[in-house]
Amino acid sequence: MEYIRRITDWPEDERPRERLLRSGPESLSDAELLAIILRVGGKAGSAIDLARHLLAKAGGFRGLDRLSVEELCRIPYVGSAKAAQIKAALEIGKRFRLEQSPEDDRVHSSNDVYHLVGPAMRDLPREEFRVLFLTQRNHVIANKVIFEGSLTESIASPREILREALSLSAASLILVHNHPSGDPTPSDEDRAVTRRIRAACETLCVNLLDHVIVGRNTYFSFADHGLL
């Protein structure tokens, strides 16, 4: 019979939590960081063993993010508590990325837009439609999710978007949505919705600067392709 060593049985200078406190989080591997979140493993091994298994099975943290809570719970020794801990940690990371310092909240290009919202949108299993509301100098006033679901002309109502723009005194806005397929190529519906919202913006002297479609590891910009 093989005896399983728990992390608490390890020498203190080898334990992930103690190493983090002593040397900082950057000194730990992905599995060690995840093991701290998991706290305990299962009958088959330690928290690090479970963390290594999860990362290998999912293909890294982005793969874990793509798994639903139900899918995580089907993995042996995970359960609802560990699944919740994993999802909470991943969400904190995404929200941290969205919190910008005042010096970084100005949007200069489609690349800035992608780096602002891409990490939160590129692996979503469903479509999400956001609008960035900007000042005259392109500082971000608000980054709001308008709706979730397939993009259609009836759902993407210019009225709601412009009402929000007026309430925020926004001078410009940028539309952003994702394609869960990973391919950011715009559909005919994407193009029609963009034309409709642009026409509505013109009536109220609000500038539509871009419509960015987020893919798996890339994006498509209507402005960059001369479609605005």
Domain with residues 7-97, CATH architecture: Orthogonal Bundle (1.10)
Quick: pLDDT tens for 28-37: 899 999 999 9
Mean pLDDT, rounded, for 58-65: 90
The structure tokens listed for 218 are 């890339």
Q: Report domain 101-221's class.
A: alpha beta
**Mean pLDDT for all residues in the chain:** 87
- Tell me the C-alpha distance between 68 and 197, whole Å: 33
Check if the beta carbon of residue 134 is closer than 8 Å to that of residue 116: no
172-178 and 140-148 strand pairing: unpaired
Q: What is the pLDDT of residue 106?
A: 84
pTM: 0.68
In the chain, list all ranges with CATH 1.10.150.20: 7-97
Per-residue pLDDT, averaged over 183-200, amounts to 94
Give 220's contacts (C-beta < 8 A, 6+ positions apart): 184, 185, 186, 212, 213
Asked whether 207 and 228 are in contact (CB, 8 A), the reply is no
Q: What is the pLDDT of residue 12?
A: 59
Q: Where in the chain is the domain with CATH 3.40.140.10?
A: 101-221
Could you report the per-residue pLDDT of 115-155, keeping only the tens digit for each? 999 988 998 888 999 999 999 999 999 999 988 876 654 46
